[in-house]
Structure formats: C-alpha cells, structure tokens
Amino acid sequence: MGNGRPLILVTNDDGITAPGLHALVNAMSALGDLYVVAPDSPQSGMGHAITIHNMLRLDKVEVHGDHDWYQCSGTPVDCVKIAMDKILPRKPDLCVSGINHGSNSSINVIYSGTMSAAMEGAIEGIPSVGFSLLNYSLDADFSGAAHVARIVASRVLEKGLPQGSLLNVNIPSLPLEDLKGIKICRQAMAKWEEEFDERIDPTRRKYYWLTGKFVNHDRGEDTDEWALANGYVSVVPVQFDFTAHHAIPFLNEQGYELNKIAR
C-alpha cells in the first residue's frame, strides 16, 4: 500500500468461495492492490438488505494470492459498509462486485445483491461496477467475462463516472471471440411474472418455492435486453436517486392537501 497503485475493493453476493469472485479477483490483480470482502455464504436475491437485528462476524481468511481476503456473515451491502469502516486503509479508488453467476439485467438490478453492493459503493462516493455473466452454472467459463471486467474497470479507473452513478455490466455467456462489442444501454422495462410452486411437506403442511417467468415487453433497441440478445455486453449506468422527477409536476397539479378535519 502507499505505492501509488489504485486501491480496489472486491465483493460479490454468491459468497467467498464462488468461482465468479475468484475470476474477478484474478482480472483485477494487474490493476491495483485488492481487498476482498465477501459474504461467508451465498446471498443471491438479497437486494439492498442490511443486517440491523443481528450481529455480524468478520474474519480474515487465507484464500490465495497476495491479497487480503475477509469473510463477513452479513449481506453484500453489509460487506461494503464494514469494509469501509473496519478494513480499508483509505477510501478505495474502485469497488467491483461479482462476477455474478446469472444475469442482473433490466429489473433484476433491483433484486440483485451484486448490484446492491456496487450501489452501496457508489453511495460511499466510490466509482463502482457490478459484473454478471449470463450463466447460472457453478462451472461456467468466466474467461470472456473476466476480460470484459478488466477493460471496463481500467476505463472507470482512468475516466471516473458521473457523480451519483455506477455501472451494471452484463456479459453474454459466449467465448470472447464471439462477443460483438460493448453497448451503453438503458434498463429494459421488463419484469418477472410470479409462479409459486406449491408443495406438501412430510407433516402435510403446504410450502412454496418462488419461481417465475421473465417477461420483456420493451421493444427498444437501446435496452440491455436487446444488447444481450444480440451478443453485446450491456453497460447500464445506474443511479441511487430514485426520485421520479417527471412525476413531481403531475403530483403538484393534483394539489395534495392536508385536510385536518375530514376523516
């Protein structure tokens, strides 16, 4: 440390043993000094959850390479918060999250622990990027995704990002030579249609598994879904100002008033 090299915080939501995290660590090694702070167990779908009704464990662990690895019992967002307060010697130059096993395109950005960790980095004022490979398999080939991650991370280290924004990078599960390029996109207006799978346990009580069908009615060719379906890496700039600014005039016209008498 103190050698002028960039300081990079690496985290994920699939947990400290996930191959996607190790691929990302390898990809970042040439770019700076790394601290890895990741959940001690899988945390997919945790969104922007934080741990406020339970205590947290944090342990330094031996994994591999020259880097400092820590595992935390909390969520991906907890990992970023505790790294900032208890681990990092200074504010890092970059926060990267992933490489996620599975897509975080379109509406999945909202449910994703990977993207929430990157968003927490951005809230802390750190240039931040989440990476996801469109392949849920534990033995997916991360080589193309790792190459993309290095290109994007280098560019962000060099150029920075507009204030209040981070990047959501999704990568088709294709060999590097078959990737068509990188497209800057908007989030497609897609959603999941829920289908809960109903089952009966050995004591005859019902239980449910969340499943669903991904539905994209957004026909725009400027969306992440379009880019991914056409063999491009999608890069969506994401913000944590959730205000629907366009709705403010509409609501003001309606005259929301505090009538203290009428019940």
For residues 88 and 80, the answer to whether their CB atoms sit within 8 Å is no
Between helices 19-28 and 143-159, what is the axis angle to 10°?
50
Site for a copy of itself in 198-237 (CB under 8 A): 198-199, 205-210, 233, 235-237
Footprint (CB under 8 A) of a copy of itself, residues 161-180? 161-162, 164-165, 176-177, 179-180
Closest approach of Cβ 172 to a copy of itself, in Å? 11
Query: Could you say which residues in the range 96-115 bind a copy of itself, by CB under 8 A?
Result: 107, 109-111
- Interface residues for a copy of itself in 57-76 (CB under 8 A)? 57-58, 74-75
Comparison of 8 and 167: residue with beta carbon closer to a copy of itself: 167
Best CA proximity match to 98, nearest among 169, 158, 12, 14 = 12
Q: Which range binds a copy of itself by CB under 8 A, 4-12, 16-24, 45-53, 92-100? A: 45-53
**Contact 8/36 with Cβ under 8 angstroms?**
no
Number of residues forming the site for a copy of itself (CB under 8 A) = 91
Strand pairing report for 58-61 and 68-72: antiparallel
Task: Measure the CA–CA gap between 20 and 138, rounded to whole angstroms.
Answer: 8
Report which of 221, 41, 25 is spatially closest to residue 142, judged by C-alpha positions: 25
- Residue 1 Cβ, how far from a copy of itself at the closest point, in Å? 21
Q: How far apart are CA 260 and CA 78, in angstroms?
A: 42
Our finding on whether 11 is near a copy of itself (CB under 8 A) is no
Does 248 interact with a copy of itself (rule: CB under 8 A)? Answer: yes
